[in-house]
Structure 1
């Protein structure tokens, strides 16, 4: 793992939500001085490093930009947001007027110290008939945090990286609900999709859990191009994956900083 997720435990969710409301919703540039560390480290490929990169991002937002938060989870220093960026950058980098994505922040001393993200265009049609974002949103079983982290990490290592598809039933519920656009509901549809997937999972970089929800941030490839893979899982009462959300985004060869994707 990249970080010890349980050291220096703080309410990262509260810091991130407050910062986001002030900076991205209210468009108040003073929020950068209040909530962003002077050594802020950026991994988003299209945003420059440091607080100045954030200032330039906010200055470049469309007047009608808005963010729709669907769910947020946090563990230790980290918080992960899952939602929709509406009217995002005129579609220059996103490929659409609205994008679905994950934004992850690391918080240190009550300031935003680091950020990762990935997004894809909002699509209305899917194999399962479910949208990219609908489904459960609230943590109802906070005592499951450590278990969720373990189940998700072992699933990704065993099935997605290790390609042991015959073991998928150890981790996934038979009636798993699917929000990945190309996969239908149920474990058989998931297994069939994984058998022919073009995604090559290589390495886990972060596992962030809260209660029955857990987000896994992975490095991988599609046709030899570097990708960031985000998978959000919800566990059921039998401690198996009952619901999945997914974003896969290419990390371009030319970016505006030297921090890399991970």
Structure 2
């Protein structure tokens, strides 16, 4: 039986579709009108099934000692998964964002960034707290994007992105979604830097009405993708 809440549905789907490499359960978890934004996968349920069949043919990696899922956020019909993934000899930080409809995955966005060898950019706090402050914390993050004021940062603020210098790092930055659950807030953006278009996913942890911790995953938008949907 599929779990009732959206986060549990997404985690169960990832475990079966990606972890167990079982494309036979696609109909169980994926909506018939599934929309794909990943730059590596064709559109629709058939595109996902094709990618899963290709994954099934690849040599299985040793089972990880722990789940690659580091933190997750559920906000209405959206679920974000932040992962630390070992793939093809590389360590990758990954953000997957899903929109659910009728208890099934209906739309998917993602971004993948290779982790620098000396830094793990997914480390840090993971426990969701302060559920009653979800709206306030989303408003706090929105205010920081309107005006990146250092007064909104905790005295011990830490970013796990070694290049982080606030949203002002980019020449242009457009916020598309702000999602939150308790003390964690995710921002989905499109950005431009030195003429290069990219997607940016920022994750913040709030504490005592200030921003206390930050993670980021950035991916350049390729010129050619296997669908017309874009990465945002």
TM-score, normalised by the number of residues in structure 1: 0.80
TM-fit CA distance, 1:175: 1.5
What does 1:1-40 correspond to in 2, within 5 Å? 11-40=5-34
Alignment match, 2:81: 81
Partner residue in 2 for 1:168: 150
1:226 aligns with 2:226: no
Q: Which of 180, 194, 202 in structure 1 is aligned with 2:161?
A: 180
Asked if the contact 1:125–1:181 (Cα under 8 Å) also holds between the matched residues in 2, the reply is no
Q: Identify, as 1 or 2, the structure richer in strand.
A: 2
Number of aligned positions between the proteins: 223
Structure 1 unaligned residues grouped into runs of 5+: 1-9, 91-95, 160-166, 184-189
Kept after mapping to 2: 8 A contact 1:201/1:218: no
CA deviations on 1:213-260 (whole Å, 9 max, x unpaired) are: 0000001112122110110000012x1110000111111111000001
Write out per-residue CA displacement over residues 101-125 of structure 1, whole angstroms, 9 at most, x where no aligned residue. Answer: 1000000100100000001112232
Structure 1, 51-60 or 226-235: larger mean CA deviation: 51-60
Q: Which residue of 2 aligns with 1:3?
A: none
Q: CA deviation at 1:58?
A: 1.5
2:42 and 2:150 map into 1 onto residues whose CA distance is: 40
Give the whole-Å Cα distance in 2 for the aligned partners of 1:13 and 1:200: 34
Q: Is residue 217 of structure 1 aligned with residue 188 of structure 2?
A: yes
Q: What value does the CA root-mean-square deviation take over the aligned residues?
A: 1.8
Match of 1:50 in 2: 44
Deviation at 1:134, TM superposition (A): 1.0
What's the CA shift for 1:11?
2.6
Can you list the C-alpha shifts for 1:6-36, whole angstroms capped at 9, x where unaligned?
xxxx832111111111111111112211010
1:236, 1:242 within 8 Å by CA — same for their partners in 2? yes
TM-score by length of 2: 0.90
Superposed counterparts of 1:185-224, under 5 Å: 190=165, 197=169, 199-224=170-195
Note the alpha carbon deviations across 1:64-93, whole angstroms, 9 max, x for none: 346611111111000000012322xx4xxx
Are 1:120 and 2:113 an aligned pair? yes
